[in-house]
Amino acid sequence: MLKAKRGRPKKVPKFKDLLRKTIPASDIFDESELATYEALVGIYLKDFDEAQLTANDMDDIMSIAMTRVLEIRLLRASKGDPTMQIDASAAIEKLRKQTEKLKDNLAARRKDRIDPKKYSGFSIVDMAISFDMDKKREMMERASKMAIGEEEVKKSELLVGNSNDEGVDVIEEE
């Protein structure tokens, strides 16, 4: 007899697949809005490791994408109508505030998941040294290319100077 296992399944289904099965986005949005919504969800998901996403993260990502599409819908509807633009701007402002809260929630949960021991040996000084070393290497490569170019120019027959011109007297120093 098989025992029922508890906890999260080892192979977590893809978030986009879950989203398509559970949320009737096609009932909410028209085709172009649906494409925008799915693209936004995809963009936001790239910032996260899908294996670590919780239900709250997924809900926030979905809500952020949805509010962005609704914001675009309001902007399209109010295009060319000044009175509707005033009404839409208030609604858009509310949507943006809501989106900022959702983003803050996502950031806070992401920050809580980061293991501080994992990055304990790495500091801003290490980043500065790395940047300086990269900059130094770049400058050295540039200087060596310039030196090679300078040597090629010195060997060129075009740099004979004025000594071969008519009427030039060679002055010898004692």
Is 9 a residue whose pLDDT tops 90? no
Is 89 found in the same domain as 32? yes
| Domain total in the chain | 2
More confident of the two residues 9 and 73: 73
Strands, E assignment, the chain: none
Contacts of 72 (CB under 8 A, 6+ apart): 33, 36
Is 103 found in the same domain as 140? no
Is 134 found in the same domain as 70? no
Mean per-residue pLDDT of the chain: 81
Q: What is the pLDDT of residues 114-169, one digit of tens each?
A: 766 665 666 777 778 888 888 889 999 999 999 998 888 777 776 666 666 676 66
In a domain, 24, yes or no: yes
Q: How far from 80 is each of 63, 71, 75, 83, CA to CA, in Å?
A: 28, 16, 10, 9
The distance from CA 163 to its chain's CA centroid, rounded to whole angstroms, is: 60
Is 32 found in the same domain as 95? yes
In a domain, 167, yes or no: no
For the chain, report the end-to-end CA distance as a whole number of angstroms. Answer: 111
Q: What is the pLDDT of residues 49-108, one digit of tens each?
A: 777 778 888 888 889 999 999 999 999 988 888 888 888 888 999 999 999 999 998 888
